[in-house]
Structure 1
C-alpha cells in the first residue's frame, strides 16, 4: 500500500479531483495500488483465496495517514447496525452530487481495474451508438436468447420486461425501438475478490448511490437491474471445494459430506463435481442458475426437495459482506438472525454472499416417467378434466414418496395434460411403474388410455438433469412474458374427491382454460432433521404439495400500456387461486411482481421479523429490489401500474 502515499487531494463527491502525484505525475493504475490487503484465514472452514483479499481498517488507515483527503468515500460505517439512517432519493446521473468522472476513475484504480462503465449489450446493433458494428450485432443476436450468453455479459439478464426493454437486438423487439441504458446500472464492478465488494458497498453507501447485486441475472422480474445504480457482479466467484466425506461443522453438529461453493457457482458444474464423488446436492432443474445467489436466498426448490427440503435448508454457513462494508462469517451461532434471513428471506436484501457451505447426500438413482392425454373424439371435455383431477389427487402421496413432478396443461385449442416428467428419487423404472399403476388404471376406467408413457432410468441427479432438460431448452434474453404463482397446501386435499374437484380442481381448470397454459410442480419441502430448517423460507412451503404457475404474454409489438394490461389480467386470473388457498402464499423467485400483499404471500408470518432485521442490518436502504423485504419503503419514479420497470430514480416514500 506504500504507493498510495503519493495520492494527493481528493475532493468531495461530484467535484474536481487533483489527478496528480506529489511529483506531478498523473494518477494511474500503474502508480496507485488497489485498496486490498491479504489477510490470514480466520474462517472455520477456510476462506477461498478471493476471500482472503479484503478491504481492512488498516488499508483505510493507510489512506488517512497519507492525507488522502476524502477517505470517507470508502470507509466502513461505524455507527452501529441499529441506527436508522436518514434517507433521500438515491443519487442519480445528472444530480449535482453524482460522483464526477475523476471520482469514478479513482474508484476503478482502488478496485484494481474492475469497474466497467455500462454500455447496453445490444448497443452494436444501433447506429447512434459508437459501438455500432453490423457483424457484431449479428453475433449478439444469434446468442441473445441463451442463458450462457446473458450470464457472461456485465448487463446480461434472463428476462428483460421489468428492466424496461431499453435495448434489445432490433429483430427481437418492437418495430422502431431505440437503444438506451434505461433500467440498467451506470457502472458494474466485476468482483473477483472480497475487497472489491467491500469497496463498492462503502462507496455506494457513502455516496447514497443505488446498489444492486447481480449473479447470473436469472430472475423473472429483472430484480438485479436499476437505473443509475452501481452493480456488483458476482459471476466470477465460482470456486468449488469438496470438504470431505466426514466434514464436521462445529456449530450445527453436522458431520458428513459437504461442499464450499462460491456465490457464482452454477448448478451444472456442482452437479458434475458431486456426481464424480458419488454424491448429489439440492439444486434446481435449470443448469445455468447460480446456486449461491437469489436461488438459495429465495428458498430454492429442487427435484430433491421432496426428499431433503429446500436449497436454503442445506446451508451450514456463509461468508457475507454486510451493508456497513464489513466481511463476516455467518452461521447459527455467529449472526444467527442474519443466518435466518439469508436462507429464504430474498436476494439483494441482506448483504452480498461470497460463499456458502452446503451439505451433500449419497448419490441415488432416479427414474422418470413422461406421458400425456387430451380431449379427443374418444375423450370428451368432462372426461378429460376428471382425468386431470385423478392425477392431481395423487399429489400428496407422490410427494410423500420423495417424488417431484413437472407438468403442464395446455388449452390453446383442445386441452391436453403433459407430465414432463414425473421424477422418482431413489427409484428404478419398475418401482415407478408399480407406483403409477393405480393412477393409470383409474384413467383407463374413465375411458382415457395413456399410450405414450415412457419410463427412463438414470444413475443420479446429473444424468437425470442432462437426460431430461436439454441445454437448448433453457432460454434467456426474453421480454414478452410474466409469471405468477401460488402454493397449494396439503389441506386442500384433505377433503372428499368431489369437494376437491369442485374447489381446487375447478380453479385450476378455469385458470388453464382462460390463460391457455399453466405449469405445475408436485413437490413438498420435506422435513429434514439433519439440516437447520429454522430459516426465512416462506412457511407456506412447509405445507405445500403443488407449486402452480400461470403466465401473461404479449406480442413483440406490445407497448408499455399493452404490457400493463396483460399483467393486470394475470393478477386477476390469480385471484381465484388465492381465494382457494387462504393463508398460503407464493414462491417469491417465480411469482408475480404485482402480487397483492407480497409481504404475506412471499414471506408469510416471517415478514414482521424480517422487516425488523432489514432496519437493523441496512438502515440506509442500501440494498433494494422489487418485492424484497422493506421494498415498500421506496418507489421507482415514472412507473406505470402493473408495469413497474426499473427505468427511474429510486426514492423513499
Structure 2
C-alpha cells in the first residue's frame, strides 16, 4: 500500500509542480535535457525526492566495475576497476536475474547506446548514454518494470522513470460482473510470470502469462497482447483482463473495467504498454489447474540434408492448424543447426493424446528419411510442466536484435513454397522461431479488445533475431538494418497489409501504426489524446509517437507530423 501511495503522491506532485504532467517544451519544440535553463536544479530534485519518500534513484550502471571512470552529467568520479567483479558480471550478463534488481539496466542492449558496456576495454569511459534511465528529465516520463523489452519502450534519454518492479501484491478474488463471474487473481504491476503461476498453483488454479518466467505480466506483456503456453487453450493475456487499476497522467487513480472508463479498459487490453497511464494492478481470469503434456523433436542439419529439412518444414506447416486447433501451443525453431520443436505444450490432454496429435508431423519426418529425436512427457500440474519447460532458460533472449511478423493461415494454405523460401532466408543465417497458436475464438469478437485483429487470423508469430555484437557497435547497427531491409522484407511481401506482435517486432518498423495496431489505431489514438493530451508518456512505436522524434543527443522533439 505504501508503494501505491508514494506513486500516487509522486504523480500528483508532478501535476501540481507543472513539470512532467504538463510538459514545457524548449523554444525549439524539444523537451529539456541537462544544460537547458528549464532543467531542474538540485533543490528541485531534493524537493521531489522528499515528496516521494526518498524513493528517487540515481542511475549507476551495473557495468561500472568494468571501467576505470564513470561520468554522470558533469560529475566524474573515478571508479577502481575491479577485475573479479567485472569477470563475474560478464559470466552472468545474459541472465535476466542480473538486470532485474537494477532500475536502469536495459536487457535489450541495443537501447543502451553502447554505454558502460562490460565487454569494452576498461579504459573506455563509462558514461550515461542516450537510452539509460536517469532521474534527470523533468518532462519525459517512462514506465519500467523488469526491463524485458525488445523495442526500447521502457528506457528513455534524460528521462524520469517510474519503476513498478516492487509492486508484488497477489490476491485471490471472487469477481462478479455482467461479463464474468468466477475466480480471479489481482496482480500487482511488478509481479512476474513465475510469481503469478506459483500463487495460482497454491490455489489449484492457472493464469495466462508468457514463456519467460521473469517477465512481468501486468505491464507490456498483457498490455501488448501477450501470447504464451496457454494461448491455444484460453487465449491471449489481454483476453483475460477483467479490470485495471491505473493512475492517469493527471495523477488520478481509477479502476477501468467494462462499465467504468470502458474506453481506457479497452485500450489497455492490447493497445501497447506504458502509453496511457501507470498501471498499478490488473485483475485476470483464473482457471482450474490440470495435468499438462509436452513434446519435443530435434532434426539436426548435417550439411547434406538441408533441402530435405526445409521440405519438411513446409509440410509441417500444413499440419500445424490441426495441432493448434487441438489446444496445443507449439514453439518451433529453425537455425543453421537444424529444425526443432521446443515444445508442443497442452493442458488437459494426456501424453498419449498429444503423441497422437503429433503423429502427422512425425510421419512427415519419417517419410522424408530424416533422422530425428522425439520425446514427450506428462506433468500433474501446469506449474511443474512449465518449470520443466523453462529449466534451461538461463540465457536472456535479449542477446539479439529482433524482428517479427504474424503469419496468417491462408498464407500457409495457399503459398507454402514462397513462405518456406522466406523462412530459409532467415533460418540459414540466424535464429527463426515460429510461435504457433489458435486464438481466433478466445474472444467473442476481435473488437472486444485492442489487440491487432490480425492476431485472430494468424497461425503463428515469426520471431527472429540477429546476434548483438558487444565489441563492435557499428556492426550492431548494421544487424538492426539487416532485420528491417533483408530478413523481414520477404515476409512483408508475402503479407501485404499484414501485422506483427508489438512485443516481438522490429523497432524500426516504418509503418508501425498499421502493422502493430491494425484497424484499431484510430480509436486508440483518440483514447491516447483523451487520457494523455500533453503526451506525458512517449513510447517508441507507441500510439501517437509519430508526433515526436528522438534525436542523436537523446533529445525528444516535436515533429511536423501529426497522427491522423
Query: Which residue is equivalent to 1:503?
Result: 418
2:554 is aligned with 1:648: yes
Query: Which residue is equivalent to 2:73?
Result: none
Q: Are the equivalent residues in 1 in contact too, given 2:66–2:122 (CA < 8 A)?
A: no
Matches within 5 A, 1:510-549: 510-513=425-428, 515-528=429-442, 534-549=448-463
Aligned equivalents of 2:154, 2:175: Cα separation in 1: 35
Provide the secondary structure at the position in 2 that maps to 1:219. Answer: coil
2:371 is aligned with 1:430: no
2:368 is aligned with 1:441: no
Query: Which residue is equivalent to 1:456?
Result: 377
User: Residue 549 and residue 71 in structure 1: after superposition, are their counterparts in 2 closer, same or farther (change >3 A)?
Assistant: closer
Aligned equivalents of 1:520, 1:595: Cα separation in 2: 19
Aligned equivalents of 2:432, 2:262: Cα separation in 1: 39
Aligned equivalents of 2:541, 2:19: Cα separation in 1: 30
Query: Which residue is equivalent to 1:180?
Result: 127
The alpha-carbon deviation at position 49 of structure 1 amounts to 6.4
Q: Given the alignment, which residue of 357, 364, 387 partners 2:312?
A: 387
* Contiguous gaps of at least 5 residues in structure 1: 1-47, 61-69, 80-85, 189-203, 639-646
The alpha-carbon deviation at position 142 of structure 1 amounts to 4.2
Query: Which residue is equivalent to 1:149?
Result: 98
Provide the secondary structure at the position in 2 that maps to 1:272. Answer: helix
* Contiguous gaps of at least 5 residues in structure 2: 71-76, 560-564
2:394 is aligned with 1:473: yes
Matches within 5 A, 1:88-99: 88-99=29-40
The alpha-carbon deviation at position 590 of structure 1 amounts to 0.8
Provide the secondary structure at the position in 2 that maps to 1:162. Answer: helix
Aligned equivalents of 2:419, 2:19: Cα separation in 1: 55
Q: Are the equivalent residues in 2 in contact too, given 1:402–1:424 (CA < 8 A)?
A: yes
Provide the secondary structure at the position in 1 that maps to 2:537. Answer: coil
Query: Which residue is equivalent to 2:328?
Result: 403
Matches within 5 A, 1:484-633: 484-495=403-414, 500-513=415-428, 515-528=429-442, 534-560=448-474, 562-572=475-485, 573-633=487-547
Provide the secondary structure at the position in 1 that maps to 2:299. Answer: strand
Q: Given the alignment, which residue of 238, 259, 264 partners 1:312?
A: 238
2:148 is aligned with 1:218: yes
Question: So what's the TM-score if we normalise by structure 1?
Answer: 0.78
2:216 is aligned with 1:295: no
2:341 is aligned with 1:419: yes
Q: Are the equivalent residues in 2 in contact too, given 1:307–1:526 (CA < 8 A)?
A: no
Aligned equivalents of 1:138, 1:433: Cα separation in 2: 45
The alpha-carbon deviation at position 376 of structure 1 amounts to 4.4
Provide the secondary structure at the position in 2 that maps to 1:549. Answer: strand
Query: Which residue is equivalent to 2:270?
Result: 344
2:170 is aligned with 1:229: no
Provide the secondary structure at the position in 2 that maps to 1:371. Answer: strand
2:176 is aligned with 1:249: yes
Q: Are the equivalent residues in 2 in contact too, given 1:524–1:541 (CA < 8 A)?
A: no
Aligned equivalents of 1:328, 1:75: Cα separation in 2: 22
Question: So what's the TM-score if we normalise by structure 2?
Answer: 0.90
Q: Are the equivalent residues in 2 in contact too, given 1:158–1:218 (CA < 8 A)?
A: yes
Aligned equivalents of 2:508, 2:279: Cα separation in 1: 27
Q: CA-atom RMSD, angstroms?
A: 2.8
Q: Are the equivalent residues in 1 in contact too, given 2:116–2:126 (CA < 8 A)?
A: yes
Query: Which residue is equivalent to 1:82?
Result: none
Provide the secondary structure at the position in 1 that maps to 2:99. Answer: helix
The alpha-carbon deviation at position 554 of structure 1 amounts to 4.5
Provide the secondary structure at the position in 2 that maps to 1:187. Answer: coil
Number of residue-to-residue matches in the alignment = 547
Q: Are the equivalent residues in 1 in contact too, given 2:323–2:358 (CA < 8 A)?
A: no
Matches within 5 A, 1:127-142: 127-129=68-70, 130=77, 131-132=79-80, 134=82, 136-142=85-91
